[in-house]
Structure 1
């Protein structure tokens, strides 16, 4: 088993979306409920940008001078130098009931963003679903065909002709045909399932062998699946709520795992005081370079 190192004791409420930006040798991530976007450079310098609404995902803009951030209140452009935001698209849902959740770029710079049914405090409503969207600076926000009350697990296979995603509340990991030229996600089919009550598939990554890595929220473990969806290995973590795994470093031979402390009781927090931290390990396999620039 690889050694698990606490990279940063950031105690995020819901830490998410660790993203390695190779040209700048920096790691970016978010805390959904802080809400904030963070950057950690290899020299240890940290930066943060705070928002007035939940952040569900982000992508960098060309030159990493800023980012596109998916907030509960819409899609915004963030200027890193000033901290100012400018709305590019209104929320495509009732923001009292939904927020964006999960977001990754494909190789063409399309920013795919999912949703989560997450009513604001004091708002009562029956659970509902909303569609997956893609965003580009040219097209804006465009709705897709996949609907869920909690999207997660976005990644592409080695050939980039299949798109992975999870419907977390259904505990299902899905695989759909992907048309890279047109940016179209086909009809998904079952890839794998998490069968243990209280455990759900969260965010993911793909390695150089085409295997799919998934953070199992509530299970305190990383799952690695082969190309057929067969579970081939597990890595136990020191926290029960890992949220995403991402390959990082110049050789993409390290992995960073984000985590959450949201909804943990006082007793649980005593048992896992590092909950909400960022963790680092060497998984024994290299990952794929993951696009993070929206176009």
Structure 2
């Protein structure tokens, strides 16, 4: 049986973007709709937080210090010591109905983030894209025609990249060129068959298996490299959103969750919705390098 512990009962509106810092032994994560960056120390139980000026989308460590992140209006750097944000690039300044969402560094030190359509009251448009920011801070559009970017992860040997549009029941896999960051030969990796199943935040473990959060279904699933589901873990709250391995031995799976502005009566019977959870799943993960730029 999987041991599940809430280590910070944040009540996050939309917890996301888990990144483990092995040097500081802390987990970085965000609340998108709450406009906050969190830093949780599992050993001490302390969580620090910073307000963001816009909806954050995702974060990564930066080799020269601080964080790299995306917010609604593009790529930024963040210095936790001064709480200052520095704008880097805004590749969708011409698209007022999109914002940046899921992303993370690849194993070669580039930073990836994709956008999603978010315009309440308007009909869904598939106008989002996935972007790669290289270490020279140039930004490249890699995939377009997206409704909601999610599911980003890489195989341990960096020959495969996984990516999903959460407005579809599919996770795709691409051949990945580690030297250049180019992708090709996109194809279906997972096609969900249970009604309402979609992919949110994901990671890959040391055995090359793909872990994916299934929002609104309260599950975290594990798939082998052939796209066969190996395990399904039921969370104590219905909206898990992102996952990443951490801890000194990278043997803890950290999972963020979300309240999503729902009234408390809709959350009756759930344990710590919007909290940060630690799961003992019996396998180890892989470190995510910092952004080299």
TM-score per shorter chain, which class? over 0.9
Is the contact made by 1:93 and 1:130 (CA closer than 8 Å) also made in structure 2? no
- Report the counterpart of residue 180 of structure 1 in structure 2: 178
1:3 aligns with 2:3: yes
Matches within 5 A, 1:4-153: 4-41=4-41, 42-63=43-64, 65-94=65-94, 96-119=96-119, 121=120, 124-153=122-151
Secondary structure of the structure 1 residue equivalent to 2:167: helix
Whole-Å Cα distance in 1 between the matches of residues 176 and 6 of structure 2? 36
Aligned equivalents of 2:131, 2:275: Cα separation in 1? 29
Aligned to 1:277: 275
Deviation at 1:91, TM superposition (A): 4.3
Aligned residues: CA RMSD: 1.7
Asked if 1:199 is matched to 2:200, the reply is no
Please give the alpha-carbon distance, in whole angstroms, between the structure 2 residues aligned to 1:131 and 1:29.
22
- Tell me the secondary structure at the aligned position of residue 86 of structure 1: strand
Q: Contact 2:201–2:212 (CA<8 Å) still a contact in 1? A: yes
Map 1:162-173 → 2, pairs under 5 A: 162-173=160-171
Change (3 A) 1:239 1:294: farther
Q: Sort the Cα spacing of 1:45 and 1:7 in 2 relative to 1 into closer, same or farther, 3 A.
A: closer
CA contact 1:68–1:294 (8 Å) conserved in 2: no
Q: Alpha-carbon deviation of 1:145?
A: 3.1
SS at match of 1:267: helix
Runs of 5+ consecutive residues of structure 1 not aligned to the other structure:
none
Does the 8 A contact of 2:129 with 2:149 survive in 1? no
Rate the CA distance shift 1:139–1:259 in 2: closer, same or farther, 3 A: same
Q: Distance in 2 between the 1:181 and 1:125 partners?
A: 39
Look up the match of 2:228. Answer: 230
Distance in structure 2 (CA, Å) of the matches to 1:145 and 1:91:
13
Distance 1:141 1:49 in 2: 26
SS of 1:24 mapped into structure 2: coil
Secondary structure of 2:185's counterpart equals: coil
SS at match of 1:223: strand
Tell me the equivalent position of 2:256.
258
3-state SS in 2 of match to 1:108: coil
Unpaired runs of 5+ residues, structure 2, are none
Q: How many residues align?
A: 292
The more displaced of 136-145 and 7-16 is 136-145
Q: Distance in 1 between matches of 2:191 and 2:292?
A: 31
CA contact (8 A) 1:59 1:294 kept: no
262-271 or 238-247, which deviates more: 262-271
